[in-house]
Structure 1
Amino acid sequence: MNKLYKQILVILSLALSLQGCIFVAGAAAGAAAIAVVYDHRTIEKTLQDTDISNKIADRIRKVPALRNESHIEVTVFNKVVLLSGETPNPSWKQQAEDIAKSVPDVTRVYNQITIQGPTSSLTRTSDSWITTKIKGLMLATEDLKSSSIKVLTENGVVYLMGIVTRQQADIAVDIARQVSGVQKVVKIFQYKK
């Protein structure tokens, strides 16, 4: 099965080198589809995480300043919420965190929103590409159970979430650090005992 991952990675790499930037969106979608197929959380937990994420995002969008003057991403894995992105106002950052904490079933909130204006679409495209490269490398790494890891990149900062052993976390961090464009890697793991 691992040979399949390597073959997929090679095909994606070749296609990207031949197709240029137009293929990036398709590659990102393909990596996301692969990640969903190999996600080992139960369907109930996955749906619960999606529901939590949607509720938080909907509540954030109802606040005009958070919707119009900020860029806030909501990521949920195993009821743990990561808020990332940018807002120009510290009180808006706190407001987003308060919204996340108010949603039922949330066990913890990591507020990594930076105080600055929203990033450009070019930066967001670069971030998506970094995430895609990391996911591809993780899928091709034999000793890594990448299905237990969620990857998000925001302004060059890579966030890794999931339920892993410390050894798996170290492997994932090493992979992420090797990718061009990565400024920093933040671990938001829940560790298996």
Structure 2
Amino acid sequence: MNDKSVRQNVIDALDWEPSIDSAHIGVAVDRGVAVLSGHVPNYAQKAAAERIAKRVKGVAAIVDEITVRYPGSSTHRDEDIAARAVQALNWDVFLPDNVVQVKVSKGWITLSGELDWDYQRHAAEAAVRNLRGVIGVSNQISLKRHVSPADVSHRIEDALKRDASVEAARIRVSASDGKVTLEGKVHSLHEREAVERAVWAAPGVHSVVDHLAIG
């Protein structure tokens, strides 16, 4: 698939999504790398645009240059954003109380702290990215190091075989002291992310080195 076709498919995918105002989003594609530019009215749409573009066949990587412009003269104090973020984290059932720390600077939220699981790290980011006034989120939450089971590689390989969106035969997995290395090939950026999600769900994983090629 050539870059022109991929670009049009990304544009069509963004236009199809009802939660995004794509009128001011620009798309360029060069050798499978999709560059998103322009502006959107909130950070939730920026995150959604990147997520949708990643699912388009032929997209090998994303460069997200979209800026967030809140409409009119709408301004939000960092103190208010921080208070709403803390409240949102406290209300999230996937997160333990008072573990994730929040810092806000000019609308940009930085999350820190230490959690047990990767899904909790993603839940923390999801809890704050849709708040009014947010222009970006830096997720610096780390994961606790658990003792890895001796068969962690086999558990991950079994999980990949169960995932309908992954062709497990093309992927090699090795694990050492909680660090998992992935090698082989996947068909798309979407499949590579599905592999990473499956890996992070294994007990004891605290870092992933992704050497998967798209092709």
- TM-score exceeds 0.5: no
TM-score computed with the length of structure 2 as normaliser = 0.31
TM-score by length of 1: 0.34
More helix by share: 1
Bigger Rg, which one: 2
Higher relative contact order (CA 8 A, sep 6+): 1
Q: Which has the higher strand share?
A: 2
